[in-house]
């Protein structure tokens, strides 16, 4: 006797609506931006997003930390130099973000 293939299980329409309702109810509090928009700063007459400014300043901080460690010859004795410079850059970027949004000072 040949095997008869079965159709895939499809949920009932009421279950689908309930799933969408739960997803919508859980997703509403997770909205990202407020009504006044993302924080930005005016630089040379144009608005520049603060997250991008913080990232660029953090990158410069990491590069300066690397150059300082090479100039002071700490790079020869400093283990995991990439991790150290990266953490310094992330710390600088975080501080710029906190100061820029007014949450630190």
Predicted confidence (pLDDT) per residue in 7-18, tens digit: 666 666 667 778
Question: What is the secondary structure of 27-72 as a DSSP string?
Answer: HGGG----TT-S-EEEETTEEEEHHHHHHHHHHHHHHHHHHHHHHT
Indicate the domain borders of the chain. Answer: 40-105
The 3-class secondary structure across 94-105, one letter per residue, is HHHHHHHHCCCC
Strand partners, 41: 48
pLDDT at 38 over 70: no
Strand partners, 47: 42
Tens of pLDDT, residues 45-83: 778 788 888 999 999 999 999 999 999 998 888 889 999
Cα 6–9–15 angle (5° rounding)? 160
Distance CA 52, CA 17 (A): 40
pTM of the model: 0.61
Which comes out higher in pLDDT, residue 21 or 13?
21
Q: What is the pLDDT of residue 44?
A: 79
């Amino acid at each position: 006797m040949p095997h008869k293939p079965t159709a895939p299980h499809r949920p009932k329409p009421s279950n689908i609506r309930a799933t969408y309702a739960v997803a919508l109810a859980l997703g509403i509090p997770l909205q990202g931006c407020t009504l006044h928009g993302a924080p930005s700063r005016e630089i040379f007459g144009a608005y520049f997003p603060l997250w991008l400014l913080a990232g660029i300043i953090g990158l410069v901080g990491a590069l300066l930390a690397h150059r300082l460690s090479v100039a002071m010859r700490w790079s020869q004795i400093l283990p995991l130099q990439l991790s150290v410079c990266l953490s310094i850059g992330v710390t600088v970027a975080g501080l710029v973000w906190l100061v820029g949004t007014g949450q630190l000072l």
